[in-house]
């Protein structure tokens, strides 16, 4: 097993692997590359992270056999499944109506429409700073909404006592997801303003304003998010 890997580092990154300094310590990146090489999920994971170590003298096939019978094979009843579906439907409605989600969706639609119309010309700019800004907003356009949805979902489950693991006031998944989104929103706001100034585009400036407003709302909704310690990235001792 590779013990230099950082647990959960990929859960709170922007998934821009080619720009990350931690890929050699990320199990998700290693597995993605290995599965692509092997063409098989199980073989790729074993190549990336190694096979589990069996107890001394035990055959590899027996790993886990001693505790598997302890897990009961219980299927939920029809009533339980119906209740689960009702709860999930109610949750989707709550998340769809959340101000953060509404604003994030509106921004994603406006941003993707602008990029579809203008990125070709801007991407050919001789100015590498403009090209970099376009790369940033293009990457963040869909990523931010997905991370904010995850943050809203996690917080909603905690509020309804459905997630007993994430009970820390700061170090929980929804704060971590919100922090990653906030960092992307900050860089996208700067990028949009740079683009607007470089090509004299009022819509780009407007998208910068939209990103800034969304960031302020997210900070209000998740006031402790920026205090979240992301594995690896916020740990200089690593």
Domains of the chain, CATH where assigned: 9-70 (no CATH), 98-227 (1.20.1440)
Q: How far apart are CA 96 and CA 78, in angstroms?
A: 27
Q: How far apart are CA 40 and CA 83, in angstroms?
A: 37
- ∠ CA(217), CA(140), CA(202), 5° rounding? 75
Longest dimension (CA), the chain: 71
Given this model, what pLDDT does residue 64 score?
Answer: 55
Given this model, what pLDDT does residue 30 score?
Answer: 87
- Model pLDDT for residues 56-83, shown as the tens digit of each residue: 665 555 555 566 666 677 788 999 999 9
Q: Would you state the structure tokens that stand for residue 162, as one six-digit string?
A: 């459905």
Helical residues (DSSP H) of 39-77, grouped into ranges = 41-49
The answer to whether the CB of 143 falls within 8 A of the CB of 196 is: no
CA 231 centroid distance within chain = 13
- CA 108 → CA 66, 98, 154, 205, distances in Å? 50, 15, 21, 15
Q: Would you state the structure tokens that stand for residue 74, as one six-digit string?
A: 């219980």
Q: Would you state the structure tokens that stand for residue 37, as one six-digit string?
A: 């090489």
Percentage of the chain modeled with pLDDT above 70: 85
HSE (side-chain half, CA atoms, 13 Å) at 194: 18
Q: How far apart are CA 182 and CA 170, in angstroms?
A: 15
The answer to whether the CB of 198 falls within 8 A of the CB of 190 is: no
* pLDDT band at 238; cut points 50, 70, 90: confident
Report the run of H or E that residue 215 belongs to, with start and end.
helix 202-221
What rounded mean pLDDT belongs to the chain?
88
Residue 126 contacts by C-beta under 8 Å, 6 or more apart in sequence?
A: none
Sign of CA dihedral 47, 53, 57, 60: negative
Given this model, what pLDDT does residue 188 score?
Answer: 98
Q: Is the pLDDT of residue 96 over 90?
A: yes
Q: How far apart are CA 91 and CA 164, in angstroms?
A: 17
User: Which among 218, 222, 217, 214 has a CA at the least distance from the CA of 109?
Assistant: 214
Q: Is the pLDDT of residue 172 over 80?
A: yes
Q: Tokens 């096939």 — which residue?
A: 61
Q: How many Å is the Cα radius of gyration of the chain?
A: 22
Q: Would you state the structure tokens that stand for residue 148, as one six-digit string?
A: 């904010």
Residues 84-113: what's their mean pLDDT? 96
Residues 227-232: what's their mean pLDDT? 96
């Amino acid at each position: 097993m590779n013990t230099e890997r950082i647990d959960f580092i990929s859960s709170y990154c922007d998934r821009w692997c080619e720009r990350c300094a931690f890929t050699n310590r990320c199990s998700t990146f290693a597995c993605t590359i290995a599965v692509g090489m092997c063409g098989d999920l199980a073989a790729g994971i074993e190549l990336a992270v190694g096979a589990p170590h069996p107890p001394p003298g035990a055959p590899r096939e027996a790993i886990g056999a001693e505790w598997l019978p302890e897990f009961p094979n219980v299927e939920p009843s029809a009533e339980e499944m119906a209740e689960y579906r009702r709860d999930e439907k109610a949750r989707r409605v709550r998340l769809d109506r959340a101000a953060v989600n509404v604003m994030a969706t509106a921004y994603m639609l406006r941003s993707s429409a602008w990029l579809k119309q203008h990125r070709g010309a801007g991407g050919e700019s001789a100015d590498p700073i403009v090209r970099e800004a376009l790369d940033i907003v293009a990457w963040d356009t869909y990523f931010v909404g997905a991370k904010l949805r995850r943050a809203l979902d996690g917080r909603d489950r905690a509020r309804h006592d459905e997630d007993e693991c994430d009970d820390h006031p700061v170090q929980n998944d929804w704060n971590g997801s919100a922090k990653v989104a906030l960092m992307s929103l900050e860089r996208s706001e700067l990028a949009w303003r740079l683009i607007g100034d470089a090509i004299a585009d009022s819509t780009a400036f407007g998208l910068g304003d939209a990103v800034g407003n969304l960031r302020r709302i997210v900070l209000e909704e998740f006031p402790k998010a920026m205090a979240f310690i992301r594995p690896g990235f916020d740990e200089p001792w690593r």
